Amino acid sequence: MNKQTTRIGKNRLVAAATGAAIALGATSASAETLRVVMQSGLRITDPIMTTAFITRDHGYMIYDTLLGVDSDFNVRPQMADWEVSEDEKTYTFTLRDGLAWHDGAPVTAEDCVASIKRWADIDSTAKPLMTMVDNIEVVDDKSFKVQLNTPTTLLLAGLSKMSSRAPFMMPKRIAETPASESIDEYVGSGPFVFVEEEFQPGIKVAYEKFEEYVPRDEPPSWTAGGKDVKVDRVEWLTMPDQMTAINALQSGEVDFIQQVPFDLLPLVENASDIDVNILDPLGAWTYFRMNWLHSPFDNKLVRQAAIAAVDQEDVMQALVGNPEYYRTCAAIMGCGNVNGDEYGKEWVVEGQIEKAKSLLEEAGYDDTPVVIMAPTDLAMVVPQPIVIGDALRKAGFNVQMKMMDWQTLAAQQGNQDAPSEGGWNIFSTYSILATSGDPFGNTPLSTDGRESWAGWPDVPEISELRLDYAKAASVEEQKEIAKRIQKIAIDEGVVGPLGQFRIPAAWSSEWSGFLESPITLFWNISKED
């Protein structure tokens, strides 16, 4: 506790040292400020420690990444370019000119190596990658070398990873903080500076343009290309009531809403001074997970029966309603993603109660209760358990709904006890497709039994295929492996896909330049005169 209290004091000093000069100019009355309502409040400020989306978005504001991904899924240089040896085992990364931290110090290769190591300690993509890395060594101030023991595409994929736990670069002194402890300074080299003295957790975050930032020359495309900031300041405001956010947009008190709830869309869709559009072209997918450790889902046929019983259209109707914003999809790695394959579509998408009944009969299901954890407070995950429960009852399952708040569910999902002793059989959640398109970023495809993510499926064949995927020489080879993973995962009942959806954003027509990207980006935006 005392340590953390000290930390705050230090934060203030750093903020004063790093932000004062910029703050003086940018907070003047003439400053162009973009006022934004984000999907939730920023409370955790370390983008390596947590996977919270709001913290990821915060990360992209103040930090930069070595590599980026463009809209064609190509890995592109961002802070650094790279060269690879003929045997494809040695990658040399060279930092571009003009990179500086918000405190004025130059970005060095040493900083980047420390940042990669901290990220590698905790990230799910980095862990398998590090088994293929022999050494990361600093060559000089501007370059470093990664020595692999086997060629892998995972290195570039990992360093350009979008979404949660992107490998954000930090000064060495900050990156040396253990990954299990929150960082205590917020100095990045990204296009915005975090105004720490104005930070109110869960209420307001302010960022000011980093005047020394040198954007790349290429046009922006997802996390690649030039990050050309055209505003002086961005303020993220948290509004717990979505109706208030819509009213504030209509009255001109805010300029942008990151996610407009589907039921409130009619209020802004026809307004002449408000633009509504999908900025994340991929969106999210929702799915349900079964607990492999306990009856009845320790039986493959029962898992298949559950997947067959649920009708994706029913789930999507309950969750989204408007077909313009959802689609059914059997691909675990996402329809629209390079690796998206729809094996099993004929019985995964459309609910097949009769098939489910016969599978249950074949499995000898003995009426063991199925405990479904159902959250009551997070709109994006409330309808799924209700629809799943109804479908399972129709198929002949003995269903018990266990209502709770989302945070209780998040804590409970790690409980490996039997459902009769406080454990669970089914829960549902959602993930963004930008991170689900490969077998490493896709959390449910971790199949190492009790060591894997909640549900604890034990399918060694998938674990081996994931490693093969990392070592694959070409995209075509990767696609082939992904296809095999999809088949095994569906047949084994690793996860039950429930459909995909995209959440629209809305903004005042006075503003333009919002970029299409899986991450909400705040560069390139300007106010029209």
Contact residues for other proteins, defined by CB under 8 A: 1-2, 4-5, 7-8, 41, 43-45, 49-52, 122, 124, 164, 178-182, 184, 199-204, 237, 239-241, 243-244, 247-248, 250-251, 253, 377, 404-408, 410-412, 414, 429, 431, 443, 446, 451, 453
Q: Is 76 helix (H, G, I), strand (E, B) or coil?
A: strand
Name the DSSP class of 338: T
Q: Across the beta sheet with 133-140, what order do the strands follow?
A: 80-84, 90-95, 143-148, 133-140
Write down the least CB distance from residue 214 to other proteins, Å.
Answer: 31
Q: Which of 12, 393 has the CB closer to other proteins?
A: 12
Minimum distance from CB of 402 to other proteins (Å)? 11
Q: Which is nearer to other proteins, 358 or 413 (CB)?
A: 413
Which residues are within 8 A (CB) of 245 and not within 5 positions of it... i.e. 6 or more apart? 37, 239, 254, 257
> What is the smallest separation between the CB atom of 53 and other proteins, expressed in angstroms?
9
Contact 373/404 with Cβ under 8 angstroms? yes
Helix (H) or strand (E) segment spanning residue 357: helix 353-363
- Type and span of the H or E element at 126: helix 126-130
Q: Which is nearer to other proteins, 202 or 364 (CB)?
A: 202
| CB distance 202 to 190 below 8 Å | no
Q: Judged by CB, which is closer to other proteins: 72, or 197?
A: 197
- The distance of closest approach from Cβ of residue 43 to other proteins in the complex, given in angstroms and rounded to an integer, is 4
- Residue 430 CB, nearest approach to other proteins (Å): 10
Q: Which is nearer to other proteins, 317 or 408 (CB)?
A: 408
- Read off the tokens for 205: 């975050």
- Return the number of the residue (41 or 281) whose C-beta is nearest other proteins: 41
**Contact predicate 153/477, CB 8 Å:** no
Nearer to other proteins, 169 or 205 (CB): 205
CB of 180 to other proteins, least distance (A): 3
Residue 98 Cβ vs other proteins, minimum distance, rounded to whole Å: 32
In the complex with other proteins, which residue's Cβ is closer, 342 or 448? 448
Longest CA–CA span in the chain (Å) reads 73
Nearer of residues 94 and 182 to other proteins, judged by Cβ: 182
Q: How far is the CB of 29 from other proteins (least distance, A)?
A: 13
- Residue placing its CB nearer to other proteins in the complex, 41 or 396: 41
- Asked if residue 238 lies in contact with residue 500, where contact means CB atoms within 8 angstroms, the answer is no
Output the smallest distance, CB 351 to other proteins, in A.
27
Nearer to other proteins, 7 or 483 (CB): 7
Q: How far is the CB of 46 from other proteins (least distance, A)?
A: 9
CB of 243 to other proteins, least distance (A): 7
Provide the minimum distance between the beta carbon of 200 and other proteins in the complex, in angstroms, as a whole number: 6
CB of 251 to other proteins, least distance (A): 5
Q: Which is nearer to other proteins, 344 or 441 (CB)?
A: 441
Contact 344, 490 (CB under 8 A): yes
Nearest 10 degrees: Cα torsion 409, 415, 416, 417:
-100
CA 94 distance to own-chain centroid: 27
Nearer to other proteins, 121 or 218 (CB): 121
Pair 117, 136: CB distance under 8 Å: yes
CA distance 144 to 130: 16
> Which is nearest to 171 in space by CA: 102, 223, 120?
102
Closest CA to 223 of 64, 94, 10: 64
Q: Taking Cα atoms as reference points, which of 483, 487, 453, 450 lies closest to residue 468?
A: 483
- Quick one: 405 exposed, middle or buried, by C-beta within 10 A (0-12, 13-18, 19+)? exposed
Instruction: Measure the CA–CA gap between 13 and 368, rounded to whole angstroms.
Output: 59
> How many Å apart are CA 456 and CA 444, to the nearest integer?
9
CB contact at 8 A, 91 and 84: yes
What tokens does 47 get?
């983008």
**Pairing label, strands 80-84, 133-140:** unpaired
CA atoms of 238 and 426, how far apart (whole Å): 32
Is the link from the previous residue into 296 a cis peptide, with omega within 30 of 0?
A: yes
